[in-house]
């Protein structure tokens, strides 16, 4: 059964300023880095789906939706024309993924701004800067600190016994806000403090991720792999911490597994692939990461969602070997991650798009907010040090919730 035709129109608009200030409170969608990207609102259509074939089904659903669209796009920039936002479950066997086609998209790229409407014309909303909550209270999620350290210790024993090479363990932290937090407040604070990260919002999951799973523009693909982390310090201390990170055998080992995971996933689709042998250092406001940018040229017209399926879950958020780590994780974490550590981003009708990994994020449900952070565990991991790394990563969302 064919869908009724939908008129999709992208038109240039004057600079709207901070894209996040134009979002409504409900059903906000976003993918923005350093002021550029796309935000959206409303729902023309959505797909909620689970199962190992969920991304294949989502690809077919998106193709069907696009086939009914009558597109007028004189802007012709990445993110103009038809766009679908998505947030994919970490474990597609147990949790749902969400794909949303908005009614309105507002974008900025290379200094040019545009608005895309699906079905009818709409006026640009007035800018809004909402206030934060008056109070925030926290409680442990699935595991307390001591229990989580014990889980890390159990993982290290399995690794040293040769069961697997690496496993990523996460923990959740619950927060209650008074009154219910306005997601736009959180997004605006994240975008200001972490301009080098991709600030995102899809179906109640919002955050600011430093890790790009994959982007596609035509035949060009890029992935930014992060693994190996240390907290930030002041001046001389920060330089010492970074030097320790670079020289750390444990962190370099963790990083190598993650880079190899992405390179292996992309190699099947690329006729050219550049994989640097030495990682760079990425300094963010609260932590520093080892970082490697993997770039390639596609051999065929593979869509960005097909690449997402090929890469997820990468070793950076799961482990090595992947299948073994995926089975071990819920047993040790004792929780369902939902869409935390899953792919999040957008795609267009031509198969281009940008997808990150949902890190430094929280699931917002009224007054209840569920925060997440995780660490890569290898044979040299120390439970207390991994807990400290988790605390450092949780600072991103705690600051965003608590700021005034």
Q: Find all residues with CB under 8 Å of 210, minimum gap 6, and list them.
A: 194, 196, 197, 198, 224, 226, 282, 284, 289, 359, 360
Q: How far is CA 87 from the centre of its chain?
A: 8
Do residues 151 and 359 touch, judged by C-beta distance below 8 A? no
317 strand-pairing partners: none
Q: CA-to-CA distance for 271 and 70, rounded, in angstroms?
A: 34
Non-local (6+) Cβ contacts of 1 within 8 A are none
Active site residue 250: no
- Residues 59 and 348: their CA atoms lie apart, in Å, by 11
Residue with tokens 């991103």: 396
How many CA atoms does the CB half-sphere of 232 hold within 13 Å? 13
* Strand partners for 109: 112
With beta carbons less than 8 A apart as the criterion, state whether 280 and 216 touch: no
Residue of 157, 178, 211, 272 marked active site: 211
| CA–CA distances in Å: residue 212 to residues 8, 25, 218, 224, 235 | 28, 26, 17, 5, 28
Query: How far apart are the C-alpha atoms of 292 and 276, rounded to whole Å?
Result: 7
Measured on CA atoms in the order 195, 200, 206, 210, is the torsion positive or negative? Answer: negative
Among residues 36, 96, 166, 333, which one is catalytic?
Answer: 166
Give first-to-last CA distance, the chain, whole Å: 51
168 HSE (CA, 13 A, CB side): 34
Q: How, if at all, do strands 104-109 and 112-118 pair? A: antiparallel
157 included as an active-site residue: no
On whether the CB atoms of residues 183 and 206 are closer than 8 A, the answer is yes
**Contact in structure between 254 and 378 (CB atoms under 8 Å):** yes
Residue among 107, 130, 115 at smallest CA distance from 33: 107
198-202 vs 319-320, strand pairing mode: unpaired
Residues with a catalytic annotation lie at 166, 211
């Amino acid at each position: 059964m064919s869908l009724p035709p939908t008129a999709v129109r992208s038109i240039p608009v004057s600079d709207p300023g901070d894209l996040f200030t134009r979002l409504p409170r409900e059903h906000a969608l976003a993918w923005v880095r350093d002021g550029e990207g796309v935000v959206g609102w409303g729902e023309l259509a959505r797909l909620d789906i689970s199962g190992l074939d969920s991304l294949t089904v989502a690809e077919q659903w998106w193709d069907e939706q696009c086939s009914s669209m009558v597109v007028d796009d004189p802007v012709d920039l990445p993110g103009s024309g038809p766009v679908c936002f998505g947030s994919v479950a970490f474990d597609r066997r147990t949790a749902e993924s969400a794909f949303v086609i908005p009614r309105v998209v507002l974008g900025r790229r290379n200094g040019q701004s545009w608005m895309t409407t699906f079905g009818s014309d709409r006026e640009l909303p007035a800018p809004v800067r909402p206030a934060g909550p008056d109070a925030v209270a926290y409680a442990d999620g699935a595991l307390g600190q001591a229990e989580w350290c014990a889980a890390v210790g159990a993982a290290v024993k399995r690794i040293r016994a040769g069961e697997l090479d690496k496993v990523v363990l996460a923990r959740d932290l619950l927060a209650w806000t008074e009154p219910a937090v306005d997601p736009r407040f959180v997004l605006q604070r994240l975008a200001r403090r972490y301009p080098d990260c991709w600030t995102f919002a899809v179906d109640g999951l919002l955050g600011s991720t430093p890790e790009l799973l994959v982007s596609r523009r035509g035949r060009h693909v890029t992935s930014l792999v992060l693994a190996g982390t240390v907290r930030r310090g002041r001046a001389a201390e920060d330089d010492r911490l970074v030097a320790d990170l670079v020289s750390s055998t444990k962190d370099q080992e963790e990083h190598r597994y993650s880079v190899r995971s992405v390179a292996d996933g992309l190699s099947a689709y690329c006729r050219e692939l550049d994989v640097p042998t030495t990682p760079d250092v990425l300094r963010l406001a609260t932590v520093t990461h080892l970082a490697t940018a993997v770039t390639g040229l596609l051999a065929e017209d593979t869509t960005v969602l097909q690449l997402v399926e090929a890469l997820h879950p990468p070793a950076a958020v799961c482990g090595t070997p992947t299948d073994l780590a995926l089975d071990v994780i819920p047993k040790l974490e004792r929780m369902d991650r939902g869409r935390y550590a899953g792919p999040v981003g957008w795609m267009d009708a031509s198969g281009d798009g940008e997808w990150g990994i949902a890190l430094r994020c929280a699931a917002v449900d009224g007054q209840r907010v569920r925060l997440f952070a995780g660490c890569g565990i290898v044979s040299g991991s120390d439970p207390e040090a991994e807990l400290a790394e988790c605390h450092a990563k949780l600072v991103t969302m705690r600051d965003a919730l608590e700021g005034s």
